[in-house]
Amino acid sequence: MASLVQRLYRIFVPPSQPPKVEDSSNPPIKFGILGAANIAPPALILPAKSHAEVIVYAVAARDQGKAKNFAKKHSIAKVYGGSNGYQQLLDDPEVDAIYNPLPNGLHFEWTMKALLAGKHVLCEKPMADTAEEVKQMFDLAEKKGLVLLEAFHYRFHPAIQRAKAVLDSGELGKIKSIDLKFTAPAGAMKDSDIRFNLALGGGAMMDLGCYSLNCIRYLSSSDPTSVVSAIALPLKSANIQETKIDRAMSTTLALPNDVLASMEVDLSMPWEFFPPKLFKMWVVVKCEGGDVEVQNFVLPTFWHSIKVSNKVGGTTTKRVEKVYKFADAHIDDHSKALDLGEDWWLTYRYQLEAFVDKLKGRTPQTWVTREDSIANMQWIENIYEKAGIGSRPRSNYVLPAQ
């Protein structure tokens, strides 16, 4: 308990940094945030405090008062509000990079507009509503020579990379099956939440499912070969054929080499008291010679465990690993990785490090590629298709003639 308190203290009170002074040989990257979204403080504002090359310079919100309050609370210099606020922020020549934490259904439109305005974009997950949109987003970024990243923050943390390194090492033999659960408790989100709004790209498969699918694809180093089954549950007693909103989704995926993966995501899981379990965020990979279980693969900084069971002969040996920084990860894929990070770094801080490295022309420790983001979105669509409720509606935004 004491160590969790210490950890929370270190996460939320990062050590003071040298003042961010203008250095013409290495100017800081000035971020603008589209929307005063709940996720913006943990995902960008807090991590930026410990990154010497980042300034959160501007925020835009649809309501001027909300924008001002948010800017004041987070010491953000420039504020844009009102119906044209997002575009005004994009047109600000001081802004180098955009953080897009708008609802999923608006990711395409505003990322495209940001790219057209010449800004790099860190876009929240899932990147859009359809794979075709994601492809167009990367095409435009590439054409403009800009950096675009889908914010799969958990991939930048050493914990999940360590779990993958164990699997890739061959220590446990070939993968046989994968089981993953990612759930939030009933009551955690209001019915009016963006996650339950089809026009805004809602649904459990979009929200929690995009990570879960990405994690299965990442750990297995493969894409599914088919969706064996997908069962969507509605919010409360809604008719899911009318709402098309999955409160929960249970999916079985076939992967190459006869591997089966099961994935359960739920935005409103009934409470479990014995033993008490509000959130589930775990993945178990069963292999020929043992298994790996990762608890809390999404937000490992707070707490996580990587349990490895290794069957050799008739004996099973068990070990538990916890990896908060790359120095402890035993991953040799990149020399910089060896001393990257602090044990209080959030996944978002690791992600910011990589994003800035990419912008500055350095090699990031890891990256989520264009191919990865497009394939992830395509399989989300395939799962919705199998569940009988179809993809989320495509954006109406039409790119102006160039």
Ligand X SMILES: O=C1OC[C@@H](O)[C@H](O)[C@H]1O
Task: Kindly list the catalytic residues.
Answer: 125
Dihedrals phi, psi of 176, to nearest 5 degrees: -110, -40
Give me the long-range contacts of 24-28 (CB less than 8 A, separation at least 24): 26/53, 26/360, 28/52, 28/53, 28/54, 28/55
Q: Which parts of this chain interact with ligand X (CB under 6 A)?
A: 184, 207-208, 298
Task: Figure out which of the listed residues 55, 137, 167, 194 binds ligand NDP, where binding follows CB under 6 A.
Answer: 194
Q: 39-58 mask for ligand NDP (x: CB under 6 A)?
A: x---x---------------
Q: Which does 101 bind (CB under 5 to 8 A by kind): ligand X, ligand NDP, none?
A: ligand NDP
Dihedrals phi, psi of 252, to nearest 5 degrees: -120, 130
Cβ burial of 236 (10 Å; 0-12, 13-18, 19+) is exposed
The residue range among 96-104, 111-119, 214-222, 227-235 that interacts with ligand NDP, by the rule CB under 6 A, is: 96-104
First to last CA, the chain: 58
What is the C-alpha to C-alpha distance for residues 249 and 58, in angstroms, rounded to an integer? Answer: 37
Task: Figure out which of the listed residues 44, 95, 98, 102 binds ligand NDP, where binding follows CB under 6 A.
Answer: 102
Sites for ligand NDP among residues 325-344 (CB under 6 A): none
Sites for ligand NDP among residues 249-308 (CB under 6 A): none
What is the C-alpha to C-alpha distance for residues 44 and 140, in angstroms, rounded to an integer? Answer: 24
Task: Please report how close the Cβ of residue 180 comes to ligand X at its closest, in angstroms.
Answer: 14
Q: Which does 308 bind (CB under 5 to 8 A by kind): ligand NDP, ligand X, none?
A: none
Task: Please report how close the Cβ of residue 281 comes to ligand X at its closest, in angstroms.
Answer: 8
The residue range among 46-54, 89-97, 100-108, 137-145 that interacts with ligand NDP, by the rule CB under 6 A, is: 100-108
Dihedrals phi, psi of 5, to nearest 5 degrees: -60, -45
Classified as helix, coil or strand, 163 is helix
Q: Does residue 104 touch ligand NDP according to CB under 6 A?
A: yes
Q: Nearer to ligand NDP by C-beta: 166 or 304?
A: 304
Task: Please report how close the Cβ of residue 207 comes to ligand X at its closest, in angstroms.
Answer: 5
The residue range among 98-106, 176-184, 264-272, 327-335 that interacts with ligand NDP, by the rule CB under 6 A, is: 98-106
What is the C-alpha to C-alpha distance for residues 259 and 301, in angstroms, rounded to an integer? Answer: 30
The residue range among 9-17, 32-40, 228-236, 263-271 that interacts with ligand NDP, by the rule CB under 6 A, is: 32-40
Q: Nearer to ligand NDP by C-beta: 193 or 342?
A: 193
Task: Please report how close the Cβ of residue 24 comes to ligand NDP at its closest, in angstroms.
Answer: 33
Classified as helix, coil or strand, 38 is coil
For 222, residues 6+ apart whose C-beta sits below 8 A from its C-beta are 255, 256, 259
What is the C-alpha to C-alpha distance for residues 291 and 50, in angstroms, rounded to an integer? Answer: 36
Q: 127-166 mask for ligand NDP (x: CB under 6 A)?
A: ------------------------x-x-------------
What is the C-alpha to C-alpha distance for residues 321 and 304, in angstroms, rounded to an integer? Answer: 9
Amino acid at 56: V
Q: Nearer to ligand NDP by C-beta: 125 or 370?
A: 125
Q: Does residue 125 touch ligand NDP according to CB under 6 A?
A: yes
Name which of 402, 397, 379 is nearest 206 in CA terms.
Answer: 379
Q: Phi/psi class of residue 182: alpha, beta or left (left: φ > 0; alpha: ψ in -120 to 50)? A: beta
CB–CB of 130/381 below 8 Å? Answer: yes
Amino acid at 238: A
Cβ burial of 19 (10 Å; 0-12, 13-18, 19+) is exposed
Task: Please report how close the Cβ of residue 219 comes to ligand X at its closest, in angstroms.
Answer: 18
Q: Which does 370 bind (CB under 5 to 8 A by kind): ligand NDP, ligand X, none?
A: none
Q: Which does 66 bind (CB under 5 to 8 A by kind): ligand NDP, ligand X, none?
A: ligand NDP
Q: Which does 181 bind (CB under 5 to 8 A by kind): ligand NDP, ligand X, none?
A: none
Tell me the residue number closest to ligand X, measured at CB: 207
Task: Please report how close the Cβ of residue 229 comes to ligand NDP at its closest, in angstroms.
Answer: 25
Task: Please report how close the Cβ of residue 318 comes to ligand NDP at its closest, in angstroms.
Answer: 31
> 121 to each of 112, 114, 210, 299, 394, how far by Cα in Å?
9, 7, 19, 22, 20
Q: Does residue 66 touch ligand NDP according to CB under 6 A?
A: yes
Contacts with ligand NDP by CB under 6 A lie at: 35-39, 43, 61-62, 66, 101-104, 106, 124-125, 151, 153, 194, 200, 207
